[in-house]
Amino acid sequence: MKLRLLPSALLLALAAMVTQTVARADDAEKVVVISCGDNLKFDVTKIEAVPGEKIHVKLTNNGTMPKATMGHNWILLDSMSQVNPYATAAMSAAASAYQPKTLATHVLAVIPLLGPKESGEVTFTAPAKPGKYPYICSVSGHAMAGMRGELTVK
């Protein structure tokens, strides 16, 4: 009996250690909750982070219009100069959920297309280089209508 108790106690102690480690990792993340809808806006348009910070973004589409015509996504790009090229290329990339493959190297993080009342999440590491990194909804015309924001790393 004693022989069987000892390993169980060790396992419990190990399990407790593992749980604590996971909890600490979660605590270290910056959590950003964004909602959007039929008004073509993100309700959070500024995110600040330090270089290399772990960021968790959750996006909810509170709109009511169908995914096919009024879905929304969240695409973080590697430079401000990529907003217009990416948004323009996305217009003819409906078949790949408005993510043009030719510009995929400029994408730092993605929450894929969401229909009404759907949520999506992504965890990523903020760039090491200080600067401004734009995020957009790349569904046709949405970024041009103002569905965008900025991650500032400093």
From 42-50, 87-95, 101-109, 143-151, give the range in contact with Cu ion by CB under 5 A. 143-151
Question: Whole-number minimum distance, CB 94 to Cu ion, in Å?
Answer: 13
Q: Tell me the per-residue interface mask from 57 to 86 with Cu ion, x by CB under 5 A, - otherwise.
A: ---------------x--------------
Q: Does 139 bind Cu ion (CB under 5 A)?
A: yes
d(CA 19, CA 50): 26
| Selected binder of Cu ion within 47, 60, 136, 142 (CB under 5 A) | 142
Sign of the torsion formed by the C-alpha atoms of 110, 72, 106 and 51: negative
CB-side neighbour CA atoms (13 Å) of 151:
32
Question: Whole-number minimum distance, CB 26 to Cu ion, in Å?
Answer: 29
Alpha-carbon distances, residue 91 vs 74, 79, 98, 144 (angstroms): 15, 19, 7, 11
d(CA 114, CA 63): 10
Question: Whole-number minimum distance, CB 147 to Cu ion, in Å?
Answer: 5
Binding site for Cu ion (CB under 5 A): 72, 137, 139, 142, 147
